[in-house]
Amino acid sequence: MSGPDRTRLVVLFGGQSAEHDVSRVTARHVLTAADPDRYDLVAIGITREGDWVQCSTDVATYGDALEISGDTVNPFSVLTSGSVVFPLLHGPMGEDGTLQGLLEIAGVPFVGSAVLGSSVSMDKIIAKHVADAEGIAQTKWRGIHANELTGPASEAVLDEIGDELGFPIFVKPANMGSSIGVSKVTMRGELRAAIDDALRYDEWLVLEEGVDAREIEVAVLGHTVTPRASVPGEIVPGADFYDYEDKYAAGVAQLHIPAPLSESETEQVRELACRVFRAYRAEGLSRVDFFFESPGRGWLLNEINTIPGFTPISMYPQMWQASGLPYRALIDELVGLAIERHATVSRYRGA
């Protein structure tokens, strides 16, 4: 496919969340890998202030990350008929359904989950309620609001959390990714500082029981009702847990793809990943993360990520590479899925 028959692919990156810089790195890799004979590439960066900027697609002019510089544009002048949008914005205002709502209103196909799947998956507290309702095993957890953590009564709340979950405890902002704002707490005296750090990013927090378990991930691809799963991968963190540096610095964590699991264990986790994908109304792509507690409770859902890390060293594309789907072909398939899904949704809306 070449010339006027090329699909106009809008790579949308940056954003207003704490994961802004991660998104710029991801966009650099997607622009590099996308087939120029297949796509008319457009790069739109969203600044930390929320401005939309049309950026150069000449990747040779950038370093490791796309810089957001150029002319400010009206979003609706970019989201035109015949375009497909590839959102690469992680975290709030990008992965949580807000951007997806704008794209739905604009009426353009886009890669990934729609408003419901994005928002439910992004909010860790709501996501855990969904897992409980679906009977999907997970670690012990507690959701809490900032109001419960102020005043004299808050110390009693922290005591209660320690008694309920035991130590270690993971403290996380409810709406954030890339391990930003996440702390591992090994004793009661560390809990307040970890909570204060997480409250820098969100008013809602989730606190989770720490487990001694293997960390297994599965990449899922497809439509909500017909997903398929990659070979699983295993992460052996280089730090005390799989933190920001582990995720984005090559050679820090050890990644085993495929994960050293038995045939039956592999089949179990792949089936479970697809079950999670369907339960959360995910669409297009998601990475589903598990703990494997053996001996013990077996498979425990950690979380689902609807816009997973997408650099070449990220687990999602690496797991598909190991499953026979290379990076460029993965981009092509995701764009195709977006077009198919848009046609289906448009048909129902026109009924």
pLDDT at 189: 92
Q: Is the pLDDT of residue 346 over 80?
A: yes
Number of neighbouring beta carbons within 10 Å of residue 18: 20
Report the helix count and the strand count for the chain, using DSSP H and E: 11, 15
More confident: 246 or 179:
179
pLDDT in tens, 297-317: 999 999 999 999 999 889 999
pLDDT of the residue at 81 = 83
In single-letter form, the type of residue at position 1 comes to M
Structural domain boundaries of the chain? Answer: 3-110, 120-137+211-332, 141-209
- Please identify which residue in the block is written with the tokens 């544009």: 73
Please report where in the chains the tokens 């494997």 appear, as a residue.
Answer: 292
pLDDT bracket for residue 213 (50, 70, 90): very high
Peptide bond preceding 227: is omega within 30 degrees of 0, i.e. cis? no
pLDDT of residue 17: 84
Domain 120-137+211-332 listed as CATH 3.30.470.20: yes
**pTM higher than 0.85, yes or no?**
yes
| Predicted local distance difference test score (pLDDT) of residue 34 | 96
Three-class DSSP category at 159 = helix
Percent of the chain with pLDDT over 90: 80
pLDDT at 281: 98
Q: What is the DSSP string of 166-216?
A: -SSEEEEESS--TTTT-EEE-SGGGHHHHHHHHTTT-SEEEEEE----EEE
Q: Which CATH number applies to 3-110: 2.60.40.420, 3.40.50.300, 3.40.50.20, 3.30.1360.170?
A: 3.40.50.20
256: enclosing H helix or E strand: strand 254-256
pLDDT at 1: 43
Superfamily name and number for 141-209: ATP-grasp fold, A domain (3.30.1490.20)
Specify the residue for token string 């448009």.
346
The DSSP symbol for 93 reads T
Cα dihedral: 280, 229, 15, 11 (round 10): -130
pLDDT-derived band at 4, boundaries 50, 70, 90: low
